Structure formats: C-alpha cells, structure tokens
Structure 1
C-alpha cells in the first residue's frame, strides 16, 4: 500500500531539483539552491492527496453504513426478532409515527421502547430458534 506513496514522494522531490548548469556565472553560485532541496509544495502535495483520498473513502463507507441501517429499520415487520446495540433480543412490535422509536416485546411479554437507531440487526429464523432454546 505504501509503495505507490513512496514512489510519488521520490518523484515529487526529484521534480523539484534543477538540472546543473554547464558553468555557473560568477556570483550566481551563491544564489543557487543546493542539490537535493525541492519545493515544500512538491513534498506535501502527495501526502495531502493521499489524506484527501482516505477521507473520501471513509465518508463513503459511513454513508453506506447509514443507508444500510436506515433500510434495515424501515424493512422491519411485526414479530421480527431483533438485537439492539446493547445486546437485548426482542420481538419488533411497532414503530412510532415519526419513525424515531420502536417498541420491542421481551420474553415475559413486557414491552420496551427504544430509539430506532438502537436496532443493530434482525435475527434470521435459524438464529431466532437457537435463541429460544
């Protein structure tokens, strides 16, 4: 992964060096940059570009996770077995009118209200049967 970044940094530094002149004029030798010094922009540009790409990929993944969770909550049907982020397993009963709260029924027929975003996953029928036993 870092191989392309290393190559980009080496190319950026090599691009900043000036080709040596055939014969520097008198008094110009002191004004020339010593060999090996490149511009700071050439050095930081690949690092900044890599940082921006990583941030874009991270925000894209977060957006995908939010969409998946929203679709999961909207697709809940009555009597679906769900797991909350706290590990509580219950049966989905209803959703509030604004869609921000859900009501879950526990094993002893008690009902608990949760925020809708606290639902982590819907258990499949095989997992639900395993939990009941």
Structure 2
C-alpha cells in the first residue's frame, strides 16, 4: 500500500474497481451453473413427461398417491387415476403428477 503524503492529508491509493466486481461476477456464474441450469433441465424433463402421459401409465402424484391413468381430459388438463386395490377413481390436475413409474424389464428413455 502506498500513501501519498500531502500537508495534513494521507491519501491511500485505490485499486482498480473492476477487480472488485470480479468475485461477484464469478459467484453469479457459479450459481448459474450449479443451481439455475440444472433446475431448467429438470423443468424441461417434467414438462416433456407430462406431455407424453397416456392411458395405462402408472404414475405417482405430488401427494404420494400411486395410480393408473384411465382417462385424460385435455380441455381442463385433468386426468383420472384408478387407485388399487379398491379400484377407487380420483381426478387430478395433470400438473400434480410427480413421476412416471416404469415397469420392470423395460428401459426408461431420457
């Protein structure tokens, strides 16, 4: 650190202000690659999964209910699930489906 001595004043030399912004820019870059980019990929996969649902698919809802799709209504984006063992039929919003259950012996496509 260098000081400029003037009568009655001590002035400290300031480093380049652009170097001070570099850590902040680096933090935002790291946050983008570690948090935002994977979240975008997950949203895209979920949207694709919801668009490809069909009758007979076994799904898990956000509430943890496992059932088989027996009817789909594209007008109000709902679907009807048959819940075993009592064959109870419940109607859900399509967005409430959390995941698709892939039967054993088949290969899940990504």
Fold match, TM over 0.5?
Answer: yes
Q: Show the 5 A alignment for 1:104-119.
A: 104-107=81-84, 108-119=86-97
2:104 corresponds to which residue? Answer: 126
Structure (1 or 2) with the greater helix fraction: 1
Q: Which has the larger radius of gyration?
A: 1
Shift of 1:54: 3.7
Give the TM-score normalised by structure 2. 0.70
Shift of 1:47: 3.0
- Which segments of 5 or more consecutive residues in structure 1 lack a partner in the other structure? 1-16, 128-133
Give the TM-score normalised by structure 1. 0.60
Shift of 1:102: 1.7
1:90 corresponds to which residue? Answer: 67
- Which segments of 5 or more consecutive residues in structure 2 lack a partner in the other structure? 106-110
**Closer, same or farther in 2 for the Cα pair 1:99/1:28, shift >3 Å?**
farther
2: CA distance, partners of 1:42 / 1:88: 53
Q: Give the number of equivalent residue pairs.
A: 103
Q: Secondary structure at the match of 2:99?
A: strand
2:55, 2:72 within 8 Å by CA — same for their partners in 1? Answer: no
